[in-house]
Chains A and B, each alone.
Chain A
Amino acid sequence: MLYIPGNNPAMLQQGGVYGADSLLLDLEDAVAINQKDAARILVRNILKEIDFYEAEICVRVNHIDTPFGMEDLEEIVPLQPDAIRFPKTETPEELERLIEIIEKIEDKHNLPHDQMTLHVMIETALGVQNVFDIAKLSKRVDAITIGGQDLTADMNISGTKDGSGIDLARKMIVMAAKANKIDAIDTVFVDVNDDEGLRKETEYSKSIGFTGKAVINPRQIDIIHEVYQPTEEEIRKAYKIIRAFKKNKEAGIGVFSVDGKMVDAPVMARAAYVLELADIDYDSV
């Protein structure tokens, strides 16, 4: 997910060309207070005019308790981007309030309530504590993200390259997302010149269950894709498992082995997921 400041027309108009799976058009932290109106108008117009190709579009609005949040929602919700990102979510109650506001705007414009989804951003210790209840509140919430910079500040700790200070938060967020069958997106890696550091952190994110990672520079996209895409060996193995599963299913066998290792339902599910990531149709196997 590529972050693009909402007040940067050059970056906004080129957002779709870098191959990011999703774009976050930011009206919040990336935009200075005196640029908020300009950014809102620019993002509104860009959403109407620019083709972002296959990228999913998410707009990060300002919090509803700031002077800008309501205006952001009034302008952006009628355009129904793929998702709205709600920053600094701390309690289920405030999320409920947000959804109520969004749905009122949607009603006003005769828009359905089930098209645009919500990404909640956890950026405070209180948010981390409440993350499970936040994640399960509404079916409209389809992703949770962690805001590493703000969380570090809220915890009054210094950020480190290994992210040890926010490790627990990362894992709690992933757990809440998994429990609710929604995506978990990891925070940005801020050193845009440290490719190896980015790769290492992304590998860790993947290993603990994040389904994606945010980036602040398009140069970081390829590394994240490389880490998240299954290896040739993983694909080959998954292919073998699915084929064996289909064959055994016809014979009425539930548990079988491939290359000497037992395959049961969880292994099967993992193999199916690998094929999905590799863009291979399950039925074609």
Chain B
Amino acid sequence: MKNTIGREIPEKIDGIGKVDLFIGAWEKLKKGWMDEITIPPPNKAKMPHQCKSCMDLEKAIALTNPKNGMTVSFHHHLRNGDNILVKTIDILAKMGIKDITLASSSLNQSHDPLLKYLKDGTITKIWTSGLRGVLGKAVSNGLLEYPVVIHSHGGRVRAIHTGKIQVDLVIIAASAADEEGNATGSHGKSAFGSLGYAMIDAQYAKQVIVVTDNMVDFPCIPISISQNFVDYVVKVDSIGDASRIATGTTRITKSPLDLRIAKLAADVIEHSGFFTPGFSFQVGAGGASLAVAKFIREKMTRQGLKGSFLLGGVTSYIVDMLEEGLFRTVFDVQSFDAAVSSSILNNKNHIEIPASLYANPFNCGCLTNKLDVVVLGALEIDTDFNVNVITGSDGTIRGASGGHSDTASGANLTVVVCPSFRGRVAIVKKKIHTIVTPGETIDVLVTERGICVNPARPELEEKLIKAGLNIKKIEDLQKEVESIVGVEKEIEFTDKIVGVVEYRDGTIIDVIRQVKN
């Protein structure tokens, strides 16, 4: 059967059950309450002055009574420097635990060593926002019996609230913590910034272990994860590779192409009608996306314009804009570079937020709903403005849903920035491999070869034309790209579904099929 954007999806999928089809970006939310039940968080108790400290991670895990079929969750705030996730699975595998559902907020290349556990049945199911490297390739080639579920950051919170993900054990790595489990990522040798994605797990997991390489005197301040949720605390030598956790200051790209796209995107924003005093803004950390912030910063300074808040994944560049007074507040669910941690610690207007407040669709108003402008990237975009950020040109999983669909759904103006082609591969295409973000939530596409406005936004198109910007139909741009790179050979897939892409409201927007070798 097909969902409303024409993707062929089976009624039932092994490991998922009956499929709830995507019906439109806002359809499920319109009535104001959700039919899905909310799973209550566990009731737990500790005796007064009971000690939570454990000698090592192995002992702490043993105390949680791990069992076959359990769900284990992690956050991905340690970026590519994480060694806690793999270490935990090593321990569970050594204990002989099988059939684990891995529910990390995202997975990256530091998790490549998990491959052996996917092969030997230690891990049989995965819920994640992103999947890359050898894991992405292996899953795409059909290694797992059941499909990986790809969710957005907001969607993950919703999935935990509604019991789709029921976490038995969460391991929360922190760069500082105290003996009771109050924890933060904002200071310490492995400081990584916000702990926004771990907060929901702390609240809902049956067992919570905080792991730190920096045990501080009670109380650990600021309290990002609070002690009332934490069962055990473990001190380890290192939570990861500090050089990869605390990557240096994010620099603006020097790529002329990315800068060109970014400049055009900034012009679009300036003339969109949303570049007004008090506007709110989010950009990614990638090449062209972050470069848009540079041009917006210049325009704001030149025009003396002040915004209200910056949201999202936060780079030091965003912190600079806060410190210059261009925006009043930064809401930080995830920090991208080292300089951000000290800002969280020292600037009262730099506010660490939980993923639920950031983007959960099932509440009374997440911050993405309050966004004026968001700038997002794309691996592929089709002529209906649907965006793929999860599978590459070879059909394998190599990206992340992240907050893409969450922010696109909420923002008044969603701008996608990407080159129209990379190398000989078209980015703007008639049909894309996987849809993560529906075209109805995308307002403008900005490429080096022109700007395309979603036909559903004629008033916006009129404003941009009036401003003298080069607007073309997305169909014309797609043809232009095809005339340069040609028509690519279609990738062959088997019928096996290796990935299910959940829209933020829990409906299924697309499936990823196994690449035929």
How many residue pairs bridge A and B at CB < 8 Å?
A: 25
Select which of A13, A17, A51 is within 8 A of B260 by beta carbon: A17
Which residues 1-56 of A have a CB within 8 angstroms of B? 10, 13-14, 17-19, 49-51
B484, closest chain A residue (CB): A13
- A217-B256, A218-B260, A219-B259 known; A17 vs B448 contact (CB < 8 Å): yes
A44 to B257, CA, bound (A): 24
A18 to B419, CA, bound (A): 12
**Residues of A contacting B448 in the complex (Cβ-Cβ under 8 angstroms):** 14, 17-18
- A14-B448, A17-B448 known; A218 vs B256 contact (CB < 8 Å): yes
Interface residue B462 (Cβ < 8 Å from any Cβ of A):
no
A2, closest chain B residue (CB): B256
Which residues 236-287 of B have a CB within 8 angstroms of A? 254, 256-257, 259-260, 263
A19–B484 CB distance below 8 A:
no
Tell me the smallest distance from the CB of B255 to a CB of chain A, in Å.
9
A184 to B259, CA, bound (A): 28
A218 to B254, CA, bound (A): 10
**Residues of A contacting B484 in the complex (Cβ-Cβ under 8 angstroms):** 13, 49-50
Tell me the smallest distance from the CB of B473 to a CB of chain A, in Å.
16
**Residues of B contacting A218 in the complex (Cβ-Cβ under 8 angstroms):** 256-257, 259-260
Interface residue B480 (Cβ < 8 Å from any Cβ of A):
yes
Which residues 218-272 of A have a CB within 8 angstroms of B? 218-219, 222
A51, closest chain B residue (CB): B480
Which residues 150-203 of A have a CB within 8 angstroms of B? none
A217 to B254, CA, bound (A): 10
Interface 0/1 of B427-456, CB less than 8 Å to A: 000000000000000000000110000000
A219–B263 CB distance below 8 A:
no
Select which of A17, A49, A219 is within 8 A of B449 by beta carbon: A17
Q: Which of B256, B257, B260 has the most CB of A within 10 A?
A: B256
Tell me the smallest distance from the CB of A190 to a CB of chain B, in Å.
16
A13 to B448, CA, bound (A): 12
Tell me the smallest distance from the CB of A15 to a CB of chain B, in Å.
11
B256–A18 CB distance below 8 A:
yes
**Residues of A contacting B259 in the complex (Cβ-Cβ under 8 angstroms):** 218-219
- A17-B448, A17-B449 known; A219 vs B480 contact (CB < 8 Å): no
B480–A17 CB distance below 8 A:
no
A51 to B448, CA, bound (A): 13
A217, closest chain B residue (CB): B256
**Residues of B contacting A50 in the complex (Cβ-Cβ under 8 angstroms):** 484
**Residues of B contacting A18 in the complex (Cβ-Cβ under 8 angstroms):** 256, 260, 448
**Residues of A contacting B449 in the complex (Cβ-Cβ under 8 angstroms):** 17
Select which of B254, B257, B263, B480 is within 8 A of A14 by beta carbon: B257
B257–A17 CB distance below 8 A:
yes
A219–B257 CB distance below 8 A:
no
A51 to B470, CA, bound (A): 15
**Residues of B contacting A14 in the complex (Cβ-Cβ under 8 angstroms):** 257, 448
- A13-B484, A17-B448, A51-B480 known; A222 vs B263 contact (CB < 8 Å): yes
B449, closest chain A residue (CB): A17
Tell me the smallest distance from the CB of B294 to a CB of chain A, in Å.
12
**Residues of B contacting A49 in the complex (Cβ-Cβ under 8 angstroms):** 483-484
A19 to B484, CA, bound (A): 19
**Residues of B contacting A222 in the complex (Cβ-Cβ under 8 angstroms):** 263
**Residues of B contacting A19 in the complex (Cβ-Cβ under 8 angstroms):** 260
Which residues 47-78 of A have a CB within 8 angstroms of B? 49-51
A218 to B263, CA, bound (A): 13
Tell me the smallest distance from the CB of B252 to a CB of chain A, in Å.
11
A14 to B481, CA, bound (A): 11
Which residues 477-493 of B have a CB within 8 angstroms of A? 480, 483-484
Tell me the smallest distance from the CB of B466 to a CB of chain A, in Å.
16
**Residues of A contacting B423 in the complex (Cβ-Cβ under 8 angstroms):** 10
A219 to B256, CA, bound (A): 5
B423, closest chain A residue (CB): A10
A14 to B450, CA, bound (A): 12
Tell me the smallest distance from the CB of B267 to a CB of chain A, in Å.
11
A10 to B257, CA, bound (A): 11
Interface 0/1 of B349-382, CB less than 8 Å to A: 0000000000000000000000000000000000
**Residues of A contacting B254 in the complex (Cβ-Cβ under 8 angstroms):** 219
Q: Which of A17, A19, A51, A222 has the most CB of B within 10 A?
A: A17
A49 to B259, CA, bound (A): 25
A192 to B46, CA, bound (A): 63
Tell me the smallest distance from the CB of A219 to a CB of chain B, in Å.
5
A193, closest chain B residue (CB): B254
A10 to B483, CA, bound (A): 15
A17, closest chain B residue (CB): B448
Tell me the smallest distance from the CB of B441 to a CB of chain A, in Å.
27
Tell me the smallest distance from the CB of A221 to a CB of chain B, in Å.
9
Tell me the smallest distance from the CB of B139 to a CB of chain A, in Å.
32
B263, closest chain A residue (CB): A222
Which residues 97-148 of A have a CB within 8 angstroms of B? none
Tell me the smallest distance from the CB of A165 to a CB of chain B, in Å.
30
Tell me the smallest distance from the CB of A61 to a CB of chain B, in Å.
25
A222 to B483, CA, bound (A): 28
**Residues of A contacting B480 in the complex (Cβ-Cβ under 8 angstroms):** 51
A219 to B262, CA, bound (A): 12
B448, closest chain A residue (CB): A17
Tell me the smallest distance from the CB of A50 to a CB of chain B, in Å.
7
Interface 0/1 of A201-222, CB less than 8 Å to B: 0000000000000000111001
Which residues 316-355 of B have a CB within 8 angstroms of A? none
Question: What are 15 A-B contacts defined by CB distance under 8 Å?
Answer: A10-B423, A14-B448, A17-B448, A18-B256, A18-B260, A18-B448, A19-B260, A49-B483, A49-B484, A51-B480, A217-B256, A218-B256, A218-B257, A218-B259, A219-B259
Given contacts A50-B484, A218-B259, 20 further A-B contacts (CB under 8 A): A13-B484, A14-B257, A14-B448, A17-B257, A17-B260, A17-B448, A17-B449, A18-B256, A18-B260, A18-B448, A19-B260, A49-B484, A51-B480, A217-B256, A218-B256, A218-B260, A219-B254, A219-B256, A219-B259, A222-B263
In the complex, the 5 A-B pairs of residues with the closest C-beta atoms, listed nearest first? A218-B256, A17-B448, A219-B256, A18-B260, A17-B449
